Structure 1
Amino acid sequence: MQNTAHSKEAMNTEKPSIVRRLYDWVLHWADTPYGFTALVLISFVESSFFPIPPDVLLMALVLAAPTKWAKIAFACTLASVAGGVAGYGIGVLAWDTMGMWIVENLVRVPLTPVDGRMDIALPAYMTKMFGDSLGGSYLFQVYDTWGAWIVGIFGLTPLPYKLVTITAGVAQLNLPVFIITSIVARGFRFFVVSYILFKVGEPAKAFIDKHFNKLTIIFVVLLIGGFAVLKLIF
């Protein structure tokens, strides 16, 4: 019995994971005078290497100052896109070193050699659902077919944005198009979240935490499906 008690005590005192500690560290800025500045910095670095998305702090700041929801969403969008340009630069200039390390160790997506370059296999459900309309079974093959649409579509989703920005650089998408697409996608995500919190308040936070990622995935699936149908028709 004594050993069981000691085991339970050890479990209760076990340190949370590094991701959980980073999450709590990000969130604690909402209770300081530097919350807005922290949001800008976190939005920037999350687009290239930081593991915690800025939505965590954005929601806390909007709930604390609802009338500033647009200002907060705007700053988060600009900082995220600026960080995306930095991620794009990593893809262009340092894919073989820093870029691949970030994808494999921070995003935790495995890379595999395809046609002489390291690529990312798409999930089986995606290739089954959309078939040949994707342009291939690997991410860079899809970039070759869809270009900046990849940035726009996946910039809305809960996928790590750094994966999109770095691989967009590797795919050498047109930089101005990349920036414009990123502004639209990230702006849509942050403004929608902020506006819902402004209108509904605290009850919306639980709903967003639970359902927002699912809703964005459904939206993206429908969007990709629509494009696939149009491509088959025309």
Structure 2
Amino acid sequence: MRLFGKLYARTLVWARHPHAIRYLCGLSFIEAFIFPIMPEVMLAPMMLGKRHRAFFYANVSLAFSLLGSLVGYALGHFAFEALKPLLGALHLLTPIEQGVSSLRAQMAEHRWGLYGVLVLAALQPVVPMKFVTWAAGIVGVPVLPFLGCVALGRGKRVWLLALLIRLFGERAGQLLHKYIEWIGWAVLALLGLLLAWWFWRR
């Protein structure tokens, strides 16, 4: 069953839509504080479709991620207690509280260690961005260093993607088209293994 090939083809169509950049802005914004899908899902096909604008798309996505990060920070700082029941219902409360504990420990030990944790969290796609932004607001990380860490971590991700597509765009597109089924099922299998490990540890 060719599942991911069809999804990839549909995403390429969306990425070439006249309003694709608006969709990218919206996805980058809401992913930073509530939505579970990373903006790279749209960003990569858009870059492949117009390689000469790869860094422009990367910068647009980064800018709206930063705006969304501020919303997540503000919600964590001013409305966390009031929103606890809702977050619990959405199964977001536990990951956010774990992030809070980690950031508080880093802040108590060494502030530069705290900033390093924020940069790494924004850099890796495994940790959803919303947990980082909410936790930073709850802990009370200074806003400007927070934004700098998010910009550095998320910026490395989108700029590296833009660089790779500028250098190997056509080849990257051919490889994705050829192996998208294998890649998609491999990612699902990896997520399944991670979930199984998490439940086993619990």
TM-score, structure 2 as length reference: 0.71
Length, aligned pairs only: 171
Query: Which has the higher relative contact order, 1 or 2, with Cα contacts under 8 A spaced 6 or more apart?
Result: 2
Give the one of 5, 14, 22 matched to 1:29: 14
**What secondary structure, in the 3-state scheme, does the structure 1 residue paired with 2:155 have?**
helix
Give the one of 140, 148, 168 matched to 1:180: 148
Which region of structure 1 is more displaced relative to structure 2, 29-38 or 45-54?
Answer: 29-38
**What secondary structure, in the 3-state scheme, does the structure 2 residue paired with 1:110 have?**
helix
Kindly provide the CA deviation profile for residues 14-44 of structure 1, in whole angstroms up to 9, marking residues without a partner as x.
Answer: xx9xxxx9x9987653131011111011101
Q: Which runs of 5+ in 1 are unaligned?
A: 1-11, 112-117, 123-136, 214-234
Partner residue in 2 for 1:154: 121
Q: How far, CA to CA, are the matches of 1:99 and 1:61 in structure 2?
A: 37
Kindly provide the CA deviation profile for residues 100-139 of structure 1, in whole angstroms up to 9, marking residues without a partner as x.
Answer: 7447726x5636xxxxxx83189xxxxxxxxxxxxxx845
Q: In angstroms, what is the RMSD of aligned CA positions?
A: 3.4
Q: Which runs of 5+ in 2 are unaligned?
A: 188-202
The answer to which structure has the higher helix fraction is 2
Partner residue in 2 for 1:134: none
Q: How far, CA to CA, are the matches of 1:139 and 1:104 in structure 2?
A: 24
Q: How far, CA to CA, are the matches of 2:142 and 2:16 in structure 1?
A: 40
Q: How far, CA to CA, are the matches of 2:99 and 2:153 in structure 1?
A: 23
Change (3 A) 1:170 1:186: same
Q: How far, CA to CA, are the matches of 2:40 and 2:88 in structure 1?
A: 21
Which region of structure 1 is more displaced relative to structure 2, 155-164 or 24-33?
Answer: 24-33
Change (3 A) 1:169 1:63: same
The amino acid of 1:147's aligned partner reads L
Give the one of 54, 61, 67 matched to 1:69: 54
Partner residue in 2 for 1:142: 106
The amino acid of 1:110's aligned partner reads T
Give how far 1:57 is off.
0.3
What are the equivalent positions in structure 2 for 1:89-100 lying under 5 Å apart? 89-98=74-83
Give the one of 116, 136, 160 matched to 1:192: 160
Q: How far, CA to CA, are the matches of 1:151 and 1:35 in structure 2?
A: 29
Q: Tell me, yes or no, if structure 1 residue 120 matches structure 2 residue 104.
A: no
Which region of structure 1 is more displaced relative to structure 2, 171-180 or 195-204?
Answer: 195-204
Give how far 1:142 is off.
3.3
TM-score, structure 1 as length reference: 0.62
**What secondary structure, in the 3-state scheme, does the structure 1 residue paired with 2:35 have?**
coil
Change (3 A) 1:52 1:100: farther
Give how far 1:96 is off.
1.9
Q: How far, CA to CA, are the matches of 1:109 and 1:200 in structure 2?
A: 41
Partner residue in 2 for 1:218: none
Tell me which structure has the larger Cα radius of gyration.
1
Change (3 A) 1:102 1:47: farther
Partner residue in 2 for 1:227: none
Matched-pair contact (CA < 8 Å) for 1:91–1:99: no
Partner residue in 2 for 1:110: 94
Matched-pair contact (CA < 8 Å) for 2:62–2:154: yes
Q: How far, CA to CA, are the matches of 1:103 and 1:187 in structure 2?
A: 31
